[in-house]
Amino acid sequence: MGEPIDPAAKRRPGPGRRPAAQPRAGRRKGWRGLPDGRVPAMRDTPTPLGPMRLAACDGTLVGAWFVDQADAPPLPAAATQAAPEHGGDADHAVLDQAESQLQAWFRGERTAFDVPLAAHGTPFQQSVWRVLCEVPFGAVISYGRLAARVGRPRAVRAVAQAVGANPISLFIPCHRIVGHDTSLTGFGGGLMRKRALLAHEGHPYAGEQARSRYVHPGQLPLDL
pLDDT digits (tens, 9 = 90+) for 72-86: 998 876 555 444 455
CA distance 177 to 191: 12
CA distance 38 to 56: 11
For every residue of 92-145, DSSP letters joined together read: HHHHHHHHHHHHHHHTTS-S-----B---S-HHHHHHHHHHTTS-TT-BEEHHH
Q: Could you list the active site residues?
A: 174
Q: Is the pLDDT of residue 12 over 70?
A: no
Contact assessment for residue 148 and residue 154, using Cβ atoms and an 8 Å cutoff: no
- pLDDT value of residue 183: 79
Q: Is the pLDDT of residue 27 over 70?
A: no
Q: What is the 3-state secondary structure (H, E, C) of 40-81?
A: CEEEEECCCCCCEEEEEECCEEEEEEECCCCCCCCCCHHHHC
Cα separation of the two ends of the chain: 7
- pLDDT value of residue 224: 30
- pLDDT value of residue 146: 95
Neighbours of 114 (CB within 10 A): 9
The residue with greater pLDDT, 179 or 224, is 179
Report the run of H or E that residue 181 belongs to, with start and end.
Answer: none
From the list 135, 164, 137, the residue with the least C-alpha distance to 65 is 164
Report pLDDT digits (tens) over 121-168: 999 999 999 999 999 998 989 999 999 999 999 999 999 999 999 999
Average pLDDT over the chain, rounded to an integer: 80
Q: In terms of DSSP bridges, do strands 60-66 and 52-57 run parallel, antiparallel, or are they unpaired? A: antiparallel
The pTM (predicted TM-score) of the whole model is 0.79
CA distance 160 to 164: 6
- pLDDT value of residue 79: 54
CA distance 221 to 175: 15
- pLDDT value of residue 116: 97
- pLDDT value of residue 24: 52
